[in-house]
Amino acid sequence: MSEHSPDPSTQRLHLIFDRGAENASQAFSRWLGHNVSLQIGEVDRVGLAEAVDAMGPGETLVAACAMEVFGPLDGQLLLIFEDQAGLSLVDLLMRMPLGTSRSWGELEQSAARETANIVGCAYLNALAHHLPGAVGSLVPGPPLFRHEFVGSLLEFALQDQAVNSDELLLIRTRFRATSDLLEWSLVFVPSGASVVKLSQILSPRDLG
């Protein structure tokens, strides 16, 4: 949860995105063949500098798969792994001992992209199902793999929101499998227009 006391629409948003995260967690578990647990789900409304540091020090090198989200709510969906955790994910998928994969070759990148596709679809399907008013299908674009500074990734993903607002919305979920070392994060950054739409969808008169 955010440090600030969340308003009702943020609480509602939190509940809905938690449903998405639960669905993604189940898809993750089936895909990996290991239990993947949901660790933390956070809905943050923060300033620019704080948003860019939301995943830790900006210079942290991460592997990430980015999917553009299309549909009534658009934006960016990022599956982010710290290097070693990402390579361990590949080892789990390939049924190899942890530590076997040591660099991001084509095979490793392909495994990460496929994981992002499966987890992203499950997440967005659940969101579309649980958002009030039957918003319609949310469709992810093809995942793009990047080995990147985490701060640069978030800066880019947040740019559309930053055009019209200095308070930014990002939704983070952390997953864990097998051990503390195997953690990944899923980050949804709605576009500026989608933030407005979400506030309309979740306005008090629609909360029943």
**Which residues sit at the interface with another protein, rule CB under 8 A?**
48-49, 52, 58-59, 61, 66, 68, 74, 76, 141-142, 144, 146-149, 151-153, 155-156, 159-160, 162-163, 166, 191
What six digits make up the tokens of 184? 């990944």
Residue 87: alpha-carbon gap to chain centroid: 18
**Which residue, 134 or 163, is less far from another protein as judged by CB?**
163
What six digits make up the tokens of 192? 């500026």
Could you tell me the sign of the dihedral formed by the alpha carbons of 7, 12, 14, 15, in that order? positive
End-to-end CA gap in the chain: 23
**Which residue, 78 or 127, is less far from another protein as judged by CB?**
78
Contact between 77 and 123 (Cβ < 8 Å):
yes
The vertex-81 CA angle with 78 and 85, nearest 5°, equals: 160
Going by the DSSP 8-state scheme, the letter that residue 163 receives in this structure is: T
Least distance (Å) between residue 94 CB and another protein: 22
Least distance (Å) between residue 167 CB and another protein: 12
Least distance (Å) between residue 107 CB and another protein: 17
Q: Provide the 10 A C-beta neighbour count for residue 202.
A: 20
Residue with structure tokens 């319609």? 136
- Give the strand pairing for 167-177 and 144-149: unpaired
**Which residue, 38 or 139, is less far from another protein as judged by CB?**
139
Least distance (Å) between residue 123 CB and another protein: 18
Least distance (Å) between residue 121 CB and another protein: 17
